[in-house]
Protein backbone atom coordinates (compact mmCIF):
# COMPACT_ATOMS: atom_id res chain seq x y z
CA UNK A 1 0.00 0.00 0.00
CA UNK A 2 1.37 3.39 -0.97
CA UNK A 3 1.09 5.82 1.96
CA UNK A 4 3.12 8.75 0.68
CA UNK A 5 0.20 11.16 0.91
CA UNK A 6 -0.19 12.60 4.40
CA UNK A 7 -3.35 12.58 6.41
CA UNK A 8 -4.18 14.13 9.72
CA UNK A 9 -7.66 12.76 10.14
CA UNK A 10 -8.43 10.77 13.25
CA UNK A 11 -5.44 12.03 15.20
CA UNK A 12 -6.48 10.16 18.27
CA UNK A 13 -4.35 7.67 20.24
CA UNK A 14 -4.06 4.43 18.27
CA UNK A 15 -4.40 2.21 21.32
CA UNK A 16 -7.36 -0.12 21.65
CA UNK A 17 -9.74 0.98 24.39
CA UNK A 18 -9.37 -2.32 26.22
CA UNK A 19 -5.74 -1.60 26.97
CA UNK A 20 -6.16 1.79 28.62
CA UNK A 21 -5.11 0.40 31.98
CA UNK A 22 -1.86 -0.95 30.56
CA UNK A 23 -1.15 2.36 28.83
CA UNK A 24 -1.71 4.24 32.07
CA UNK A 25 0.93 2.05 33.68
CA UNK A 26 3.29 2.76 30.80
CA UNK A 27 2.73 6.51 31.07
CA UNK A 28 3.66 6.49 34.74
CA UNK A 29 6.86 4.58 33.99
CA UNK A 30 8.16 6.79 31.19
CA UNK A 31 11.51 8.45 31.71
CA UNK A 32 13.19 11.21 29.72
CA UNK A 33 16.97 11.38 29.58
CA UNK A 34 18.40 14.76 28.70
CA UNK A 35 18.41 16.59 25.41
CA UNK A 36 22.04 16.44 24.29
CA UNK A 37 23.65 18.68 21.72
CA UNK A 38 23.74 18.83 17.94
CA UNK A 39 26.47 16.73 16.34
CA UNK A 40 27.79 17.78 12.96
CA UNK A 41 29.90 15.61 10.71
CA UNK A 42 29.94 12.48 8.64
CA UNK A 43 28.84 9.31 10.39
CA UNK A 44 26.69 10.87 13.11
CA UNK A 45 24.07 8.27 12.27
CA UNK A 46 26.27 5.20 12.15
CA UNK A 47 25.37 2.11 10.15
CA UNK A 48 24.66 -0.91 12.28
CA UNK A 49 26.82 -3.15 10.11
CA UNK A 50 30.52 -3.16 9.12
CA UNK A 51 31.45 -2.99 5.45
CA UNK A 52 34.61 -5.06 5.83
CA UNK A 53 35.45 -7.14 2.75
CA UNK A 54 34.87 -10.83 3.24
CA UNK A 55 33.22 -10.57 6.64
CA UNK A 56 30.20 -12.75 7.09
CA UNK A 57 27.71 -12.62 9.89
CA UNK A 58 25.90 -15.77 10.94
CA UNK A 59 22.47 -15.69 12.51
CA UNK A 60 22.77 -15.39 16.24
CA UNK A 61 25.93 -13.26 16.24
CA UNK A 62 26.09 -9.63 17.26
CA UNK A 63 26.57 -7.16 14.42
CA UNK A 64 29.47 -4.79 14.97
CA UNK A 65 28.84 -1.07 14.57
CA UNK A 66 30.58 0.71 11.71
CA UNK A 67 32.33 3.91 12.71
CA UNK A 68 33.28 6.80 10.49
CA UNK A 69 36.26 9.11 10.85
CA UNK A 70 34.65 12.53 11.22
CA UNK A 71 38.01 14.22 10.73
CA UNK A 72 37.77 13.29 7.03
CA UNK A 73 34.50 15.11 6.49
CA UNK A 74 34.66 17.23 3.34
CA UNK A 75 34.39 20.98 4.04
CA UNK A 76 31.33 21.33 1.80
CA UNK A 77 29.58 18.48 3.63
CA UNK A 78 30.29 20.05 7.00
CA UNK A 79 29.01 23.43 5.78
CA UNK A 80 25.83 21.79 4.49
CA UNK A 81 25.15 20.10 7.81
CA UNK A 82 25.78 23.29 9.74
CA UNK A 83 23.33 25.10 7.47
CA UNK A 84 20.70 22.39 7.98
CA UNK A 85 21.21 22.51 11.74
CA UNK A 86 20.64 26.28 11.74
CA UNK A 87 17.43 25.81 9.71
CA UNK A 88 16.14 23.26 12.23
CA UNK A 89 17.15 25.53 15.11
CA UNK A 90 15.14 28.39 13.61
CA UNK A 91 12.04 26.26 13.17
CA UNK A 92 12.21 24.48 16.53
CA UNK A 93 12.94 27.66 18.50
CA UNK A 94 9.22 28.43 18.24
CA UNK A 95 8.02 24.84 18.80
CA UNK A 96 7.26 23.72 22.37
CA UNK A 97 8.81 20.36 23.15
CA UNK A 98 12.01 18.64 22.08
CA UNK A 99 12.76 16.90 18.77
CA UNK A 100 15.59 14.72 17.49
CA UNK A 101 16.10 13.32 14.01
CA UNK A 102 18.50 10.87 12.40
CA UNK A 103 18.51 10.07 8.70
CA UNK A 104 20.58 8.05 6.28
CA UNK A 105 20.29 8.50 2.53
CA UNK A 106 21.01 5.08 1.07
CA UNK A 107 21.35 6.60 -2.39
CA UNK A 108 24.26 8.88 -1.49
CA UNK A 109 25.53 7.46 1.81
CA UNK A 110 25.07 10.83 3.52
CA UNK A 111 23.94 10.83 7.15
CA UNK A 112 22.72 13.53 9.49
CA UNK A 113 21.63 13.76 13.13
CA UNK A 114 20.09 16.56 15.15
CA UNK A 115 19.86 16.58 18.95
CA UNK A 116 21.32 13.04 19.22
CA UNK A 117 21.31 13.06 23.02
CA UNK A 118 17.52 13.06 23.23
CA UNK A 119 15.94 9.90 24.63
CA UNK A 120 12.19 9.42 24.54
CA UNK A 121 9.78 6.63 25.28
CA UNK A 122 9.23 4.54 22.19
CA UNK A 123 5.45 4.38 22.57
CA UNK A 124 4.18 2.33 19.62
CA UNK A 125 7.23 2.49 17.35
CA UNK A 126 8.53 -0.38 19.49
CA UNK A 127 6.04 -2.66 17.74
CA UNK A 128 8.40 -2.93 14.77
CA UNK A 129 11.19 -4.00 17.12
CA UNK A 130 8.91 -6.56 18.78
CA UNK A 131 7.93 -8.17 15.46
CA UNK A 132 11.56 -8.28 14.36
CA UNK A 133 12.56 -9.92 17.65
CA UNK A 134 9.84 -12.55 17.19
CA UNK A 135 11.06 -13.29 13.66
CA UNK A 136 14.64 -13.60 14.88
CA UNK A 137 13.53 -16.06 17.56
CA UNK A 138 11.59 -18.12 15.02
CA UNK A 139 14.59 -18.14 12.67
CA UNK A 140 16.75 -19.52 15.46
CA UNK A 141 14.32 -22.41 15.72
CA UNK A 142 14.29 -22.85 11.94
CA UNK A 143 10.61 -22.19 11.53
CA UNK A 144 8.24 -19.66 10.04
CA UNK A 145 5.74 -17.69 12.08
CA UNK A 146 2.50 -19.49 12.76
CA UNK A 147 -0.74 -18.15 11.32
CA UNK A 148 -1.61 -16.78 14.76
CA UNK A 149 1.74 -15.07 15.14
CA UNK A 150 1.41 -13.47 11.72
CA UNK A 151 -2.03 -12.18 12.62
CA UNK A 152 -0.68 -10.73 15.86
CA UNK A 153 2.25 -9.08 14.09
CA UNK A 154 -0.04 -7.55 11.49
CA UNK A 155 -2.37 -6.11 14.13
CA UNK A 156 0.55 -4.65 16.06
CA UNK A 157 1.99 -2.75 13.12
CA UNK A 158 -0.90 -2.04 10.79
CA UNK A 159 -3.46 -0.84 13.33
CA UNK A 160 -1.13 -0.32 16.31
CA UNK A 161 -3.03 -2.80 18.49
CA UNK A 162 -1.67 -2.72 22.03
CA UNK A 163 -3.01 -6.13 23.03
CA UNK A 164 -1.08 -7.59 20.10
CA UNK A 165 2.08 -5.80 21.23
CA UNK A 166 1.67 -7.21 24.73
CA UNK A 167 1.36 -10.70 23.26
CA UNK A 168 4.55 -10.16 21.25
CA UNK A 169 6.36 -8.85 24.33
CA UNK A 170 5.51 -12.05 26.19
CA UNK A 171 6.38 -14.28 23.23
CA UNK A 172 9.91 -12.93 22.91
CA UNK A 173 10.64 -13.12 26.63
CA UNK A 174 9.90 -9.56 27.71
CA UNK A 175 12.65 -7.05 28.40
CA UNK A 176 15.48 -9.57 28.39
CA UNK A 177 14.34 -11.09 25.11
CA UNK A 178 14.11 -7.68 23.46
CA UNK A 179 17.52 -6.65 24.78
CA UNK A 180 19.10 -9.83 23.38
CA UNK A 181 17.52 -9.27 19.96
CA UNK A 182 18.52 -5.61 19.91
CA UNK A 183 22.12 -6.52 20.59
CA UNK A 184 22.08 -8.60 17.41
CA UNK A 185 20.39 -5.79 15.50
CA UNK A 186 23.24 -3.45 16.51
CA UNK A 187 21.24 -1.16 18.81
CA UNK A 188 23.20 0.61 21.54
CA UNK A 189 20.91 3.25 23.03
CA UNK A 190 17.60 1.45 23.55
CA UNK A 191 16.63 0.39 27.08
CA UNK A 192 13.68 -2.01 27.36
CA UNK A 193 11.42 -1.37 30.33
CA UNK A 194 12.07 -4.06 32.97
CA UNK A 195 8.35 -4.60 33.59
CA UNK A 196 5.54 -5.21 31.18
CA UNK A 197 5.25 -1.58 30.06
CA UNK A 198 6.80 -2.09 26.63
CA UNK A 199 5.86 1.45 25.56
CA UNK A 200 8.10 2.83 28.30
CA UNK A 201 11.20 1.49 26.56
CA UNK A 202 13.52 4.43 25.86
CA UNK A 203 15.42 4.95 22.62
CA UNK A 204 17.34 7.40 20.44
CA UNK A 205 16.72 8.48 16.87
CA UNK A 206 20.06 6.99 15.82
CA UNK A 207 19.16 3.61 17.29
CA UNK A 208 15.91 3.62 15.36
CA UNK A 209 17.88 4.16 12.15
CA UNK A 210 20.06 1.21 13.15
CA UNK A 211 16.89 -0.83 13.54
CA UNK A 212 15.72 0.28 10.10
CA UNK A 213 19.13 -0.75 8.75
CA UNK A 214 18.34 -4.26 9.96
CA UNK A 215 15.39 -4.17 7.55
CA UNK A 216 17.48 -3.15 4.53
CA UNK A 217 20.97 -4.60 4.92
CA UNK A 218 21.82 -8.05 3.51
CA UNK A 219 24.09 -8.46 6.52
CA UNK A 220 21.14 -8.28 8.89
CA UNK A 221 20.53 -11.31 11.11
CA UNK A 222 17.03 -11.37 9.63
CA UNK A 223 16.54 -13.25 6.39
CA UNK A 224 15.59 -11.36 3.24
CA UNK A 225 12.15 -12.95 3.40
CA UNK A 226 11.57 -11.72 6.94
CA UNK A 227 12.87 -8.25 6.16
CA UNK A 228 10.43 -7.96 3.27
CA UNK A 229 7.63 -9.18 5.52
CA UNK A 230 8.17 -6.45 8.13
CA UNK A 231 8.55 -3.71 5.52
CA UNK A 232 5.35 -4.96 3.92
CA UNK A 233 3.47 -4.55 7.19
CA UNK A 234 4.91 -1.05 7.63
CA UNK A 235 3.83 -0.19 4.10
CA UNK A 236 0.26 -1.14 4.90
CA UNK A 237 -0.54 0.81 8.06
CA UNK A 238 -4.07 2.09 8.53
CA UNK A 239 -4.62 5.27 6.46
CA UNK A 240 -5.33 7.39 9.54
CA UNK A 241 -1.85 6.45 10.84
CA UNK A 242 0.01 7.30 7.62
CA UNK A 243 1.47 10.55 8.96
CA UNK A 244 4.95 11.41 10.23
CA UNK A 245 8.02 10.54 8.17
CA UNK A 246 5.75 9.99 5.16
CA UNK A 247 6.03 13.78 4.83
CA UNK A 248 9.59 13.15 3.62
CA UNK A 249 8.33 11.89 0.29
CA UNK A 250 6.54 13.50 -2.60
CA UNK A 251 3.10 12.37 -3.72
CA UNK A 252 3.35 8.72 -4.72
CA UNK A 253 6.51 7.93 -2.73
CA UNK A 254 6.94 4.39 -1.43
CA UNK A 255 6.73 4.64 2.36
CA UNK A 256 7.05 1.98 5.06
CA UNK A 257 6.59 3.46 8.53
CA UNK A 258 5.45 3.06 12.10
CA UNK A 259 4.36 5.84 14.43
CA UNK A 260 4.04 6.11 18.19
CA UNK A 261 2.06 8.61 20.23
CA UNK A 262 1.33 8.82 23.93
CA UNK A 263 0.39 11.50 26.49
CA UNK A 264 2.73 11.34 29.48
CA UNK A 265 1.37 11.93 32.94
CA UNK A 266 4.80 12.81 34.33
CA UNK A 267 5.01 15.60 31.72
CA UNK A 268 1.67 17.04 32.71
CA UNK A 269 -0.18 15.23 29.95
CA UNK A 270 2.12 16.49 27.22
CA UNK A 271 2.65 14.22 24.24
CA UNK A 272 5.43 11.96 23.03
CA UNK A 273 5.19 11.63 19.23
CA UNK A 274 7.61 9.46 17.21
CA UNK A 275 7.83 8.30 13.62
CA UNK A 276 10.27 5.92 11.90
CA UNK A 277 10.42 4.52 8.41
CA UNK A 278 11.93 3.97 5.00
CA UNK A 279 10.99 6.46 2.30
CA UNK A 280 11.78 5.78 -1.37
CA UNK A 281 11.27 8.91 -3.41
CA UNK A 282 12.55 9.30 -6.97
CA UNK A 283 16.34 9.03 -6.81
CA UNK A 284 16.62 8.74 -3.03
CA UNK A 285 15.93 6.14 -0.36
CA UNK A 286 15.90 7.48 3.18
CA UNK A 287 15.92 5.68 6.49
CA UNK A 288 14.63 8.28 8.89
CA UNK A 289 13.63 8.45 12.53
CA UNK A 290 12.12 11.45 14.31
CA UNK A 291 11.47 11.23 18.04
CA UNK A 292 9.98 13.98 20.20
CA UNK A 293 8.24 14.74 23.47
CA UNK A 294 6.59 17.43 25.61
CA UNK A 295 4.15 18.63 22.93
CA UNK A 296 0.96 20.38 24.01
CA UNK A 297 -1.16 18.07 21.84
CA UNK A 298 -0.79 15.11 19.56
CA UNK A 299 -1.54 17.30 16.56
CA UNK A 300 1.27 19.70 17.50
CA UNK A 301 3.67 16.78 17.78
CA UNK A 302 2.63 15.37 14.40
CA UNK A 303 3.11 18.78 12.79
CA UNK A 304 6.62 19.12 14.23
CA UNK A 305 7.63 15.58 13.24
CA UNK A 306 6.41 16.08 9.67
CA UNK A 307 8.03 19.50 9.28
CA UNK A 308 11.39 18.24 10.55
CA UNK A 309 11.18 15.18 8.29
CA UNK A 310 10.57 17.35 5.25
CA UNK A 311 13.24 19.92 6.08
CA UNK A 312 15.91 17.26 6.44
CA UNK A 313 15.09 15.17 3.38
CA UNK A 314 14.57 18.21 1.15
CA UNK A 315 18.04 19.41 2.13
CA UNK A 316 19.58 15.99 1.49
CA UNK A 317 17.87 15.73 -1.89
CA UNK A 318 19.47 19.00 -2.96
CA UNK A 319 22.89 17.54 -2.16
CA UNK A 320 22.44 14.52 -4.41
Domains held by the chain: number: 1
Q: 106-116 burial, b for 16+ CB within 10 Å, e for fewer?
A: bbeebbbbbbb
Per-residue pLDDT of 156-165, as tens digits, reads 999 999 999 9
In tens, the pLDDT along 10-26 reads: 333 444 333 443 333 33
Query: Would the pLDDT of 65 be above 70?
Result: no
What average pLDDT does the segment 38-60 reach? 33
CB 256 within 8 A of CB 228: no
Residue 117 counted as domain residue: yes
The predicted pLDDT at position 222 comes to 98
pLDDT beyond 60 at 36 = no
Q: Which residues contact 52 (CB under 8 A, 6 or more apart)?
A: none
- Look up the domain containing 237 and give its range: 17-41+73-319
Give the model confidence (pLDDT) of 71-86 as tens digits. Answer: 344 566 889 999 999 9
Residue 288: the pLDDT is: 98
Q: Tell me the pLDDT tens digit for each residue of 206-258.
A: 999 999 999 999 999 999 999 999 999 999 999 999 999 999 887 789 999 99
Residue 283 lies in a domain: yes
CATH for 268:
3.40.710.10
* Distance in angstroms (rounded) separating the CA atoms of residues 198 and 122: 8
For residue 86, is it within any domain? yes
Give me the pLDDT at residue 74, please: 59
**At residue 7, does pLDDT exceed 80?**
no
**Residue 228 belongs to some domain of the structure:** yes
Residue 158 lies in a domain: yes
Identify whether 188 is part of a domain. yes
| pLDDT at 51 (0 to 100) | 35
* Any domain includes 122: yes
Between the CA of residue 288 and those of 13, 27, 140, 279, what are the distances in Å?
Answer: 22, 25, 29, 8
Is there a domain that residue 8 lies in?
Answer: no
Q: What is the pLDDT of residues 94-119, one digit of tens each?
A: 999 999 999 999 999 999 999 999 99
89, pLDDT greater than 90: yes
CB atoms within 10 A of CB 17: 7
Amino acid sequence: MNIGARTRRALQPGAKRGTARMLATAVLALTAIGTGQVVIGTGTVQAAYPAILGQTIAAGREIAAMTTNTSQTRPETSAFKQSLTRALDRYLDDVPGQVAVSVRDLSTGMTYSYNPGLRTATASIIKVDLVMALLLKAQGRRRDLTAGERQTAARAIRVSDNAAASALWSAIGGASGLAAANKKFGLRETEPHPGGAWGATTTSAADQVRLLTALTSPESPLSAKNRRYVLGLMGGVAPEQAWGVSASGREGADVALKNGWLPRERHGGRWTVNSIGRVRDRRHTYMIAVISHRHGSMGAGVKAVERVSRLVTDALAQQG
